[in-house]
Amino acid sequence: AQTVTQSQPEMSVQEAETVTLSCTYDTSESDYYLFWYKQPPSRQMILVIRQEAYKQQNATENRFSVNFQKAAKSFSLKISDSQLGDAAMYFCAYRRGGGGADGLTFGKGTHLIIQP
Amino acid sequence: NAGVTQTPKFQVLKTGQSMTLQCAQDMNHNSMYWYRQDPGMGLRLIYYSASEGTTDKGEVPNGYNVSRLNKREFSLRLESAAPSQTSVYFCASSERQPPDGYTFGSGTRLTVV
């Protein structure tokens, strides 16, 4: 079974600074997808960024980028120019590739605090 | 707005009571999912449905049943609620290929006393 590990229960960063959230995963598959989700206090799950394992190029979405190291099974999220609205729980998630309807496997999350 | 709608948003049950959580999506997605989220944990998959008429167990199915009523609706039933089922429940939907992402409902906070 796949596992996703987020080793940082909580991180704190000054507004406008850069922060990196860590995620490692374990899988025997070669085809898979990785995601970062944001969960603010409203409880809504919001997709931040996704990465296909077969793509070597790291995904980027505005201030959010990932460092995908397939051999090391590492998938970290970098948030640049942190804003107060970035404060939330962040979950790393894995999904097996292929045409099936597999659900996501989540890590336990990192609580991100933004200091004004 | 298009998306996933869950009802109710909050519910308190007594041990042994039954209830059904409702979920509907209007994005014409084939696949639907039920997750639970407990404090200090990520979301864990309870059941999923790859398409209308099919359902499969996820990581934590014990104590739950599901029904894929049609392509839009996927319900989760607790037949005899237990305090261990106190949690926040999320419904989600997606297309199978490629997985552009999963759209989540806003969650149901369930307390079993």
pLDDT at B101: 73
How do residues A59-85 score in pLDDT, each as one tens digit?
Answer: 999 999 999 999 999 999 999 999 999
pLDDT at B99: 62
**Whether pLDDT at B88 is above 90:** yes
**Whether pLDDT at B22 is above 90:** yes
**Whether pLDDT at B98 is above 70:** no
Interchain contact, B48 vs A108, CB within 8 Å:
no
Spatial separation of the C-alpha atoms in residues A14 and B50, rounded to whole Å: 43
Tokens of B27: 């994005």
> Which member of B33, B90, B96 has the closest CB to residue A100?
B96
What share of chain B in percent tops pLDDT 70?
94
Q: How confident is the model at residue A2 (pLDDT cuts 50, 70, 90)?
A: confident
Spatial separation of the C-alpha atoms in residues B4 and A113, rounded to whole Å: 28
- Where is pLDDT greater, at A30 or A112? A112
> Which member of A9, A99, A103 has the closest CB to residue B33?
A103
**Whether pLDDT at B96 is above 80:** no
Mean per-residue pLDDT of chain A: 94
Q: Are A95 and A75 in contact (CB under 8 A)?
A: no
How do residues A18-60 score in pLDDT, each as one tens digit?
Answer: 999 999 999 999 889 999 999 999 999 999 999 999 888 999 9
Which residues on A lie below 8 Å from B66 (Cβ)?
Answer: none
Q: In 3-state terms, what secondary structure has residue B10? A: strand
Which residues on B lie below 8 Å from A107 (Cβ)?
Answer: 42
Place of tokens 């085809």: A31
How do residues B29-65 score in pLDDT, each as one tens digit?
Answer: 999 999 999 988 889 999 999 988 899 999 999 999 9
Interchain contact, A103 vs B41, CB within 8 Å:
no
pLDDT at B64: 97
pLDDT at B41: 83
> Which member of B40, B58, B98 has the closest CB to residue A103?
B58
**Whether pLDDT at B100 is above 90:** no
Mean per-residue pLDDT of chain B: 93
Q: What is the mean pLDDT of residues A14-19?
A: 97
Spatial separation of the C-alpha atoms in residues B7 and A109, rounded to whole Å: 25
Q: How far is B62 from chain A (nearest CA, A)?
A: 17
> Which member of A47, A98, A109 has the closest CB to residue B42?
A109
**Whether pLDDT at A99 is above 80:** no
Spatial separation of the C-alpha atoms in residues A52 and A88, rounded to whole Å: 24
Q: How far is A75 from chain B (nearest CA, A)?
A: 17
Spatial separation of the C-alpha atoms in residues A48 and A61, rounded to whole Å: 8
Interchain contact, A100 vs B92, CB within 8 Å:
no
pLDDT at A56: 85
